[in-house]
Every structure is written in C-alpha cells, then in structure tokens.
Structure 1
C-alpha cells in the first residue's frame, strides 16, 4: 500500500508520526480541506503529467489550475495528464493519494509558485485519507523537487 511506502520514507527523517490518517476521505481538495479544517488553497495537490517519456508531478495550491500557455512555455509541450489507469503504476500512488514522496524511480517533482504564499501546506501521503502538514522548506526537502515553476493560474486573486 502506498501510504506504507510514504510512512517508511518519512521514517528516514523521524517524521512518520506527523502523518495524519483521517477517518474520512481527503481524496479531493474540498474533502481534504474539510477533514483537516483548513482553507482549500492550503491543500498541496499533486498533479501527474507525461512530458515525452517522462512522468512529471506538479505540486500546486488547492485553488490553482494549470495554465496551458505557462505549462507549454515551461515544458515545451502541451499539458497531458496521466490517464486514471496510468497514475498508480507510473507514480507509485493511487488517485486521491498522489504525493511527491516515495515516488517511483524516474518521476520528476516540481513545485508551483502558488504554494509560496503559505507558511504551511498539506500534501497527501499516499492514500485518499492521509496528509501531512509541512512548511514550505520541509516540502522542498522531502519532495526532492527539481525546481520551483510557474505553471498555474487562478490563485493570484
């Protein structure tokens, strides 16, 4: 199970006890915000894409949406999300629990600038009822991200 992989991953940092396992679903931004008692924009959603043969994860604020023009400028290709059948085999996590931790080999993680306005955010931890509260610095450290990018819209207002 994917959450067990994430717990094991965070055990390397002594952070496994910080993972929040919820009784209710946190598989969508709205459900996660409700279950965690926070603003939806503080949910750090992880979106999965294919860029050529590479799998790319983009972690963005809950209120952000992919801006196709910005995405094309960053990755030099049209945004193509993974299909529902591809997500788990290619990322290592099921839909609803996709996160930037303990991902499959060769998966690249990017952090979107929409997250930088928060002190802490809540990414999933491998299941549709888990999360962890991290500072932006911790998110950078534990996600092993490649770089910060600007590929989203709708969050600036």
Structure 2
C-alpha cells in the first residue's frame, strides 16, 4: 500500500498535519466505514465517510460519520438545491480519480462543493479516507473542513 496519494499530497501542500491509519480493507463488508472503524478501534461516529452525490444534477462531496445515513433533503438544502441523490460509482471514480471505497475529499481531480456533517466538531480528531482503500487519515475537524473547502451543516437522517 502506498502512503502517498493525491489526498496526502494535497494536505501536505496545504500545510495540514495528519496521521496515517492503514487498516485491512474488507471489500465484502456491508458498510465499509463501520468496518474501518472496527478494524482501527475507533468510535464509528469519529470515522467519517466520503460520498459523492448530485445536487440538482451537479456534483457535490459529502462527509458524514460512518454510522449515519445522509438526509438527501438536508444535503440539498445545505447547498441551496432542491433535490439530491447518490452519484453512480463509475461517475464518482471518474470525477474524483479515486476508487469507490477509497474516495477522499482531499486532492480530487475536480473541486466540487463539499459539505461536512456538523458533528465533526464534537471531536478533537476525526478519521477520513486517505485516497485509497485501507487508508484513513487522522486530523482535526477544523483542518479537515479547511482543506476540503467544506462548509458544516446538519446532514444526517
């Protein structure tokens, strides 16, 4: 496994301190984020998943706790849209340059509007995907939001 990804390069360039948290990725896990939290011994609400969505047919990135589901209504409202839906996996991979299961909000091929669930600020550190399957990054919620260009909002169902 490479410890250098577009996400780690982007964070390093931005001067953001982070730690690497490699783990054994299970492609058959029903919920990859929960599997990652369990593998690393972190609380699921501190391990954030990155999802690619469409808000009014335009791409958007969403960062939410691994034990939560996104409220599409709240997501659309947070970005000033009317409706939201999940992006097809192949489209997400093409847009971000990452494989599904390894999508990071940092270092994506194309910058898109990004929203992070406001519960992130409840923690000193959170884990977010590092740009490949089996690699999470630990950083402060403030630095994560700044580096991803994310606004904070209530996003969960």
Q: What is the TM-score when the length of structure 2 is the normalising length?
A: 0.82
> 2:74 is paired with a residue of what secondary structure?
helix
Matched, 1:49 2:50: no
For the residues of structure 2 that align with 1:140 and 1:78, how far apart are their CA atoms?
Answer: 23
Can you give the 5+ residue segments of structure 1 that lack an aligned partner in the other structure? Answer: none
1:11-54 deviation digits (Å, cap 9, x = unpaired): 322747x22233x1176112211221111111111111112353
Can you give the 5+ residue segments of structure 2 that lack an aligned partner in the other structure? Answer: none
RMSD: 2.3
> 2:35 is paired with a residue of what secondary structure?
helix
Correspondent of 2:109 among 104, 108, 129: 104
Q: What is the TM-score when the length of structure 1 is the normalising length?
A: 0.82
Matched, 1:125 2:130: yes
Range moving further from structure 2, 131-140 or 63-72:
63-72
Aligned length: 150
Matched, 1:77 2:72: no
> 2:83 is paired with a residue of what secondary structure?
coil
| Deviation beyond 4 Å, 4+ runs, structure 1 | none
For the residues of structure 2 that align with 1:14 and 1:112, how far apart are their CA atoms?
Answer: 20
For the residues of structure 2 that align with 1:139 and 1:14, how far apart are their CA atoms?
Answer: 8
